[in-house]
């Protein structure tokens, strides 16, 4: 166990915001990115929140992000738009994309906004959830920022863990929010296993002979298995491919060989692609009726008889909602190794430490 200190959401936002401002982002943009990054931590998406700040800072210093991008619509139809992110931070690009999708879907019933020249934007669920407040369903697709997945049967890592997220509003219940990588395990989980000196379960990775790889320190020798694993991994491969085509190729963003590994390259333009869809529930029926149906379904799922040993049945997103509530009152835990990195960054930028 690492020692942890807790920090409030507001303090975390303020810290990230100050760092990004010193790094050159305009005040409004720094606030937007800081809020979204801290929301990632608040909901337990720890791999996508403040832990990314040192990397983002390195990337800004290396010229890999444009700190004053001209984010603009370059193709426009009643139900679609293509946004050029001008290599700005992905959070800014995708927040804009979500806003446009929501406005269009009010009129058309559904809207789809794709990005090009965007960047890593944090957890998919943040953007898929933006339409919820407007009684809309949100869908989000992204090309991951590093290729760790070969085609089924192959060795060349041409695909990423391309995530899909979906958010469905409920009535009295929390919204259903799915956010999943299309591999069995996300690469971040492998790195965590390595840090902890643990072995991986069979089924997360295979080596170049196709045999199970369970030593996370040998991860560089292996490949992630697509969702479905040895038995049905061709399905996860298919999903990762389709999501990449929808989020990347459709909008003229990088896909396949063109994807930049942004963990090992701070300077190159990634041309990251994402896509968000907003579906206006009112275009299909009464919103209250829909929400009641979702509530009833959640109740049925939760009330299902359980396999012996299972304490509780979860609905996608429920754990994140609970973490958000808990951390909103108790604060957000910051692991000591992360805090050291943030302290170092604060020193470099000449700002107050987080804690």
User: Alpha-carbon distance 342 to 189, whole Å?
Assistant: 21
> Closest CB to a copy of itself among 266 and 322?
322
User: Alpha-carbon distance 8 to 13, whole Å?
Assistant: 9
- In the complex, least distance from residue 173 CB atom to a copy of itself, rounded to whole angstroms: 13
- In the complex, least distance from residue 99 CB atom to a copy of itself, rounded to whole angstroms: 17
- In the complex, least distance from residue 118 CB atom to a copy of itself, rounded to whole angstroms: 14
The CA distances from residue 34 to 100, 122, 230, in Å, are 21, 11, 40
> Closest CB to a copy of itself among 117 and 152?
152
Partners of 115 in beta bridges: 83
Residue 196 CB contacts under 8 Å (≥ 6 apart), including other chains: none
> Closest CB to a copy of itself among 10 and 300?
300
- In the complex, least distance from residue 57 CB atom to a copy of itself, rounded to whole angstroms: 33
- In the complex, least distance from residue 180 CB atom to a copy of itself, rounded to whole angstroms: 5
> Closest CB to a copy of itself among 106 and 324?
106
> Closest CB to a copy of itself among 19 and 130?
130
User: Alpha-carbon distance 239 to 227, whole Å?
Assistant: 9
One DSSP character per residue, 238-304 reads: HHHHHHHHHHTGGGT---GGG---TTS-SSS---B-EEEEEEEGGGTS-HHHHHHHHHHHHHHHHTS
User: Alpha-carbon distance 57 to 162, whole Å?
Assistant: 24
């Amino acid at each position: 166990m690492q020692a942890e200190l807790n920090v409030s959401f507001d303090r975390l936002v303020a810290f990230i915001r100050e760092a990004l401002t010193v790094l050159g982002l305009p005040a409004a943009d720094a606030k937007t990115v800081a809020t979204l990054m801290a929301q990632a931590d608040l909901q337990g998406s720890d791999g996508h929140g403040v832990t990314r700040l040192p990397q983002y800072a390195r990337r800004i210093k290396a010229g890999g992000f444009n700190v004053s991008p001209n984010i603009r619509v370059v193709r426009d139809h009643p139900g679609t738009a293509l946004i050029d992110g001008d290599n700005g931070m992905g959070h800014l690009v995708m927040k804009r994309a979500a806003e446009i999708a929501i406005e269009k879907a009010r009129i058309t019933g559904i809207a789809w906004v794709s990005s090009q020249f965007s960047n890593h934007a944090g957890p998919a669920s943040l953007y898929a959830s933006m339409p919820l407040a407007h009684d809309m369903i949100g869908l989000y697709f992204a090309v991951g920022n590093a290729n760790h997945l070969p085609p089924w049967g192959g060795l060349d890592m041409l695909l990423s863990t391309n995530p899909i997220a979906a958010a469905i509003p409920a009535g009295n219940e929390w919204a259903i929010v799915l956010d999943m990588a299309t591999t069995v395990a996300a690469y971040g989980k492998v790195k965590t296993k390595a840090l902890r000196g643990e072995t991986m379960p069979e089924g997360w990775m295979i080596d170049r002979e196709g045999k199970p790889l369970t030593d996370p320190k040998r991860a560089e020798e292996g490949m992630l298995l697509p969702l479905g694993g040895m038995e049905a991994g061709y399905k996860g491969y298919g999903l990762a491919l389709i999501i990449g085509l929808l989020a990347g190729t459709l909008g003229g963003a990088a896909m396949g060989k063109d994807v930049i590994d942004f963990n090992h390259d701070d300077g190159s333009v990634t041309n990251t692609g994402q896509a968000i869809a907003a579906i206006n529930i009112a275009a299909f029926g009464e919103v209250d009726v829909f929400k009641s149906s979702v509530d009833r379904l959640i109740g049925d799922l939760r009330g299902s008889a359980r396999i012996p040993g299972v304490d509780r049945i979860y609905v996608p997103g429920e754990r994140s909602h609970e973490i958000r509530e808990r951390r909103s009152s108790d604060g957000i835990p910051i692991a000591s190794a992360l805090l050291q990195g943030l302290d170092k960054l604060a020193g470099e930028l000449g700002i107050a430490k987080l804690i």
